[in-house]
Structure 1
């Protein structure tokens, strides 16, 4: 069993009791752990810029159509020039305001992804879709965590107790490992993440 590391604020306890891996308060049966590996999570910046571009172009096109149709409708329905000009101005300001609000929302969504940092983590993957992410401040620490977990899974009777850093990430903001689909009509094979 590895030496007991010092417990710092913000860390969680990783331990093996019997046939269960505990990460903080989450329990993972050892028989369900498919692999433990180091991975580098990269933000999905390119996808975020593409999504921003599509949203911006689509919104701009819709706003132009709405503005054109609205202004033509105002011109056809109003008989007084002053009233028509006032309605045109009010409608144009409304459409521009909606466009600016949507643009701000799109920029915020873009920045949520683009401002994410690259994360170096140790992933504990189960047979299902569950993945736990733990980390250490340096490469040697992450390599040691991976070795300790692999050895403890192989020999659970020896036990394990570690204090590690943990993090929560939104999987939609990061590339996480490989994408594999080798079944059915959507067969893409393997795409490295």
Structure 2
């Protein structure tokens, strides 16, 4: 006996699961002559340059700053130790307390300097898309796929030239400490790390 299936019944596989958005994911979209980078809007007619480049950490400067700090910290510590020894001859317990305090402060300063150096030396190189406007603002985003950023340059330029063009893509928020990187021009990122907005200093 043949079993017939009810009309309209098909073995349709379920739609693929939508991959979860990463914490750093932001939408970059063009619509109605505006370029939106997450919640920030940039009029396309104000965009003066769109380009990609490699953002590199300031490793050389960080190393030189570390060596300079170590020299200053140790010089001050030795000077205060000698001064404490000379002035504390009458009271050895007072001199010992001062010297202990000086070297505890020195150790704390050295640890802070090492932490700052390691933060820069271990910072990754970032490939970014930058959008400059005729005003002081710059939008920067990154992506795990460098080719996506290169293609976005063409898409944004096409949208500038063709008012009817609209599109939307997902990119990543630039999560860096601006003090640790070369930005070309002197720039300050709004709100420190984790933001896409950047302004010329």
Partner secondary structure for residue 43 of structure 1: coil
Match of 1:121, SS?
strand
TM-score (norm. length: structure 1): 0.79
* Unaligned residue ranges in structure 1 (runs of 5+): 1-5, 79-83, 180-193
Paired residue total: 167
The whole-number CA distance in structure 2 between the counterparts of 1:57 and 1:145 is 47
1:50 corresponding residue in structure 2: 64
CA deviation vs aligned residue, 1:56-91 (integer Å, no higher than 9, x gap): 11111112212211211111xx2xxxxx33223222
Following the alignment from structure 1 to structure 2, what is the Cα–Cα distance between the partners of residues 52 and 145? Answer: 39
Contact 2:80 2:99 in 1 (8 A): no
Q: Which has the higher helix share?
A: 1
Q: Indicate conservation of the 8 Å contact 2:141/2:172, yes or no.
A: yes
Structure 1 residues 100-109 or 160-169, which shifts more? 160-169
- Determine the structure 1 residue equivalent to 2:159: 152
Higher RCO (C-alpha 8 Å, min separation 6) = 1
List runs of 5+ in structure 2 lacking aligned partners: 1-17, 187-201
Question: Are the aligned partners of 1:22 and 1:28 in contact in 2 as well (CA < 8 Å)?
Answer: yes
Query: Which consecutive aligned stretches of 4+ in structure 1 deviate over 4 angstroms post-superposition?
Result: none
Give distance in 1, aligned partners of 2:20 and 2:78: 56
Mapped partners of 1:174, 1:7: distance in 2: 31
Q: CA deviation at 1:8?
A: 5.0
Contact 1:39 1:177 in 2 (8 A): no
Q: Helix, strand or coil for the counterpart of 1:151?
A: helix
**Structure-to-structure mapping, 1:1-193, within 5 angstroms:** 8-10=20-22, 11-75=25-89, 78=90, 84-177=91-184
The corresponding residue for 2:8 is none
- Distance of 1:151 and 1:26 partners within structure 2: 20
Alignment RMSD = 1.9
